[in-house]
């Protein structure tokens, strides 16, 4: 059953069995029901909705207490969107479990697969902004809202319901389809003028063979190409920005296919590399423009799964210098901190294997210095991003303390020595990240 249906059954059952207190139930009933929006969204969607509501009533223990129209449909309309997906829930992704697992910090962290759902009517009250001033962090069963920016007294607190790094039109569409509103946040009022929507380079100087990429798209993914063909005759496209939009749509679509079909890690890497290769060859898609960063993240995960830590580390380095600072300007942005923690761990693994350290491109890098400063950066930001008592924060601080002890035990001037070698190491590390392709 779809997770929104299962979630609604859970709510019905906990209510009938008295697990949910009256106050909690009232709080839940205070949430916006989008039943009229769902009704207005088309006949087939509405009949799907009614069918799923009947399923909820049938499989829950509330047949005597609840009616279909009066209760169950209202409950379902609060938790689901018109596609029958979860709306008022926070979907916990595997990436967040990386923060939750406190006993072992695993390198094979996430594939961004949905892991579970959390419903908190209080948090569900927070409005959305594509440039939010707060962020949700999970730690076991605790949920906290942490600030991304300084928030003045009485200023509204915004969180984000979607990935804020996506281009303007994708954000608008997703918010409209899933949450029924037109976003007019401070970022959206600027339309498609920001970094998320900018192609780099001169459109006239795009490589001549960009048409070939559109051709590749048409040949390799007939389903997607069919959609494109309906709107555009590819041979007629002589506008390079339009060609880039087609390539971007194809890349988004291909990444989604990899997710939906649950490819094996080896197959994921090959497919993601191909997507990134096409984006790179256009010479117009900056590495920080979506879905390039998502693709690279996917690659880091699948290389880690395959225990190819050197390649995972290489792409993590690219993200560290050229992607995250642009997508997440705050150094304490929780996603940036989690990515950096993952990079620090990967660096530690790579540093213990001589064959990687002797790699021609990494020979000049002082891995001891690199590991130390990467962990230091994480530890310097993690209280702000995750909170002092967060188990992930505690774990990383312990790891750093242990590392410092190991590195400085025999030598009183060790920290000074590390400091002297810091700038040179960083130059080499950045140079290495420059050359990572695609």
Return the residues of window 269-328 that contact Zn ion according to CB under 5 A: none
Q: Which residue lies nearer to Zn ion by CB, 109 or 185?
A: 185
- HSE of 406 in the Cβ direction (CA atoms, 13 Å)? 10
Q: Which residue lies nearer to Zn ion by CB, 170 or 305?
A: 170
Q: Which residue lies nearer to Zn ion by CB, 148 or 185?
A: 185
The CA distance from 365 to 358, in Å, is: 10
Q: Which residue lies nearer to Zn ion by CB, 26 or 156?
A: 156
CB of 163 to Zn ion, least distance (A): 12
- From the list 100-108, 124-132, 150-158, 235-243, the region that binds Zn ion by CB under 5 A is 124-132
CB of 368 to Zn ion, least distance (A): 44
Q: Which residue lies nearer to Zn ion by CB, 82 or 188?
A: 188
Q: Which residue lies nearer to Zn ion by CB, 170 or 339?
A: 170
CB of 187 to Zn ion, least distance (A): 5
User: What is residue 34's DSSP assignment?
Assistant: -
Helix, strand, coil % in the chain, rounded to nearest 5: 60, 5, 35
Helix or strand run (H / E) with residue 147: strand 142-147
Burial group, residue 110, by CB count within 10 angstroms (0-12, 13-18, 19+) = buried
CB of 183 to Zn ion, least distance (A): 3
CA distances from 381 to 242, 378, 387, 396 (A): 40, 5, 10, 11
CB of 184 to Zn ion, least distance (A): 7
Q: Which residue lies nearer to Zn ion by CB, 177 or 419?
A: 177
Q: Give the β-pairing of 158-159 and 134-139.
A: unpaired
The CA distance from 201 to 275, in Å, is: 20
CB of 333 to Zn ion, least distance (A): 17
Return the residues of window 367-406 that contact Zn ion according to CB under 5 A: none
The reply to whether omega before 291 is within 30° of 0 (cis) is yes
- From the list 40-48, 130-138, 143-151, 312-320, the region that binds Zn ion by CB under 5 A is 130-138
Q: Which residue lies nearer to Zn ion by CB, 130 or 395?
A: 130
CB of 194 to Zn ion, least distance (A): 11
CB of 327 to Zn ion, least distance (A): 15
Q: Which residue lies nearer to Zn ion by CB, 57 or 188?
A: 188
CB of 130 to Zn ion, least distance (A): 3
- From the list 49-57, 126-134, 153-161, 365-373, the region that binds Zn ion by CB under 5 A is 126-134
Under rule CB under 5 A, how many of the chain's residues touch Zn ion?
4
Q: Which residue lies nearer to Zn ion by CB, 176 or 388?
A: 176
Q: Are 350 and 309 in contact (CB under 8 A)?
A: yes
Q: Give the β-pairing of 114-118 and 90-93.
A: antiparallel
Q: Which residue lies nearer to Zn ion by CB, 14 or 192?
A: 192
Kindly give, in sequence order, each residue whose CB lies less than 8 Å from that of residue 404, ignoring residues fewer than 6 positions away: 372
Q: Which residues pair with 146 in a beta bridge?
A: 135
Residue written as token pair 């213990």? 352
Largest CA distance in the chain: 75
Q: What is the CA radius of gyration of the chain?
A: 24
CB of 162 to Zn ion, least distance (A): 9
CB of 346 to Zn ion, least distance (A): 33
User: With binding defined as CB under 5 A, does residue 130 bind Zn ion?
Assistant: yes
Return the residues of window 160-219 that contact Zn ion according to CB under 5 A: 183, 185, 188
User: With binding defined as CB under 5 A, does residue 159 bind Zn ion?
Assistant: no
First to last CA, the chain: 39
Q: Are 403 and 371 in contact (CB under 8 A)?
A: yes
Kindly give, in sequence order, each residue whose CB lies less than 8 Å from that of residue 32, ignoring residues fewer than 6 positions away: 78, 88
Dihedrals phi, psi of 10, to nearest 5 degrees: -60, -45
Residues forming contacts to Zn ion in the complex (CB under 5 A) are 130, 183, 185, 188
């Amino acid at each position: 059953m779809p997770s929104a249906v299962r979630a609604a059954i859970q709510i019905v059952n906990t209510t009938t069995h008295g697990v949910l207190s009256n106050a909690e139930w009232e709080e839940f009933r205070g949430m916006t029901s989008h039943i009229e929006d769902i009704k207005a969204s088309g006949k087939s969607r509405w009949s799907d909705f009614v069918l799923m509501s009947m399923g909820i009533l049938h499989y829950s223990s509330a047949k005597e207490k609840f009616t279909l129209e009066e209760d169950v449909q209202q409950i379902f309309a609060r938790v689901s969107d018109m596609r029958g997906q979860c709306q008022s829930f926070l979907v916990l992704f595997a990436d967040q479990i990386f923060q939750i697992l406190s006993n072992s910090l695993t390198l094979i962290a996430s594939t961004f697969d949905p892991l579970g759902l959390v419903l908190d009517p209080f948090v569900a009250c927070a409005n959305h902004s594509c440039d939010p001033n707060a962020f949700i962090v999970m730690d076991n069963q605790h949920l906290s809202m942490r600030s991304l920016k300084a928030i003045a007294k009485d200023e509204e607190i915004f969180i984000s319901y979607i990935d804020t790094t996506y281009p303007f039109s994708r954000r608008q569409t997703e918010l409209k389809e899933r949450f029924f509103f037109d976003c007019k946040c401070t970022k959206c009022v600027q339309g498609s003028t920001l970094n998320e929507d900018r192609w780099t380079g001169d459109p006239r100087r795009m490589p001549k063979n960009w048409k070939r990429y559109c051709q590749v798209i048409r040949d390799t993914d007939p389903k997607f190409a069919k959609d494109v063909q309906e709107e555009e005759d590819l041979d007629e496209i002589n506008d390079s920005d339009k060609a880039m939009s087609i390539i971007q749509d194809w890349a988004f679509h291909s990444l989604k296919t990899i997710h939906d079909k649950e490819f094996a890690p080896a197959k994921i890497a090959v497919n993601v590399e191909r997507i990134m290769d096409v984006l790179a060859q256009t010479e117009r898609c900056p590495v920080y423009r979506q879905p390039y960063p998502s693709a690279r993240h996917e690659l880091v995960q699948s290389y880690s799964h395959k225990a190819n830590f050197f390649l995972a580390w290489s792409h993590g380095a690219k993200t560290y210098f050229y992607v995250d600072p642009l997508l997440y300007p705050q150094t304490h942005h929780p996603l940036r901190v989690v990515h950096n923690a993952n990079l620090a761990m990967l660096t530690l693994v790579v540093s213990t294997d001589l064959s990687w350290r002797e790699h021609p491109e990494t020979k000049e890098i002082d891995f001891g210095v690199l590991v130390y400063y990467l962990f230091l950066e994480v530890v310097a930001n993690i209280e702000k991003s995750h909170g002092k008592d967060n188990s992930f924060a505690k774990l990383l601080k312990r790891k750093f303390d242990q590392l410092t002890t190991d590195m400085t035990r025999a030598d009183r001037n060790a920290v000074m020595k590390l400091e002297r070698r810091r700038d040179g190491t960083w130059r080499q590390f950045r140079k290495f990240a420059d050359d990572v392709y695609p």
